[in-house]
Structure 1
Amino acid sequence: MTLLLVLAGGALGAVCRFLVDAAVTSRLPAGRPWGTFVVNVAGSALLGLAAGAGSGLPGWIGPLVGTGFCGALTTYSAFAYETVGLAADRHSRRRAAGYVVATLVVGLGAAALGWLAGARILGNTPI
């Protein structure tokens, strides 16, 4: 059953990643990895929310949402690939460094806020 939950969440997360990336990239300036940034931050917030809610959620939520959906929605490989691509262009090296810092700071902040929100919604004590 757990495997099916991960598969279902992964299928939904992958489709959402594709759709969000396409929507974001079509609306913002080309040459910048905004789509990957948005899905990684959103996935961090959602995973933080689920983790903060913890045992207040049914046991099947973790495999479906955490491992499956968030695992397929977010992407470290695209983040790394896009960072290397930016860094390879000597005119974009600062942009590459900014992308790394922004992804880490905003992603960790989103996860922390999600965690606190999840803990408060279900009355768990936040860290």
Structure 2
Amino acid sequence: MIHLPALDLLFFAVGGGLGAAARFVVDGEIRSRHRGGFPWGTVVVNVTGSFLIGLFSTLAATLTRLAVADDVAALVQYSLMVGLCGGFTTFSTSTVESVRLAQSGRLHLALGNTLGTLVATVVAVALGIGVGTAVGSLFL
């Protein structure tokens, strides 16, 4: 079992709650505008969250290299990367949506959702790392 200090757990819990609330709002807003068979809200949430995970992971590494206080790096790691982005992204929902699309006979949409989300989220993480590296290089 991972042992986290109480403050790190608090950071994680607050970030996770904010991420889940943000996912609910973003997904709901997109669904209300794009009624149809494809789960655009979940795709946008997962791609955006993946970009932010790449960005925040690079930011945390940069803060460590800059010898910033461990508490600040933990704040970025636990509240932003693990909490906020973990609460925001929802790959289980994406999977359920793909299964439902397949069950309804829309195999092309199910496959597009599954493969498209996979490719787009990996690209988004790479872009987040790239942006984080570029921003971090300004301070190193």
TM-score when scaled to structure 2?
Answer: 0.84
Q: Tell me how far apart the structure 2 counterparts of residues 78 and 123 of structure 1 sit (CA, whole Å).
A: 36
Q: Which amino acid letter does the alignment assign opposite residue 6 of structure 1?
A: F
What code does the residue aligned with 1:86 have? L
What are structure 1's unaligned runs of at least 5 residues?
none
Are 1:42 and 2:48 an aligned pair? yes
Rg: which structure is higher? 2
State the match for 1:73 in structure 2. Answer: 88
Are residue 107 (structure 1) and residue 121 (structure 2) matched? yes
Shift of the alpha carbon at 1:56? 2.1
Work out the CA distance in 1 between the residues paired with 2:17 and 2:57: 21
* Distance in 1 between residues matched to 2:82 and 2:95, nearest whole Å: 20
SS in 2 for 1:77: helix
Runs of 5+ unmatched residues, structure 2: 1-6, 64-71
Identical aligned residues as a percent: 39
Q: Partner of 2:76 in structure 1?
A: 61
Shift of the alpha carbon at 1:83?
0.6
Task: State the one-letter code of the partner of 1:11.
Answer: G
Number of residue pairs aligned between Structure 1 and Structure 2: 123
Q: Retained in 1: the 8 A contact 2:60–2:76?
A: no
Amino acid at match of 1:84: V
SS at 1:66's partner residue? helix
* Contact map agreement 2:42 2:93 (CA 8 A) in 1: yes
Cα distance per residue 1:48-75 (max 9 Å; x no partner): 1011223223311110011100001001
The one-letter code sitting in structure 2 at the alignment partner of 1:26 is S
Secondary structure in structure 2 of the residue aligned to 1:122:
helix
Q: Which residue of 1 aligns with 2:39?
A: 33
Which digits, 9 at most, give the CA deviation of each residue in 1:84-106, with x for residues without a partner?
0001122x001100111110111
Return structure 1 stretches of 4+ with deviation > 6 angstroms: none
Distance 2:37 2:57 in 1: 34
The structure 1 residue matched to 2:97, chosen from 79, 82, 86, is 82
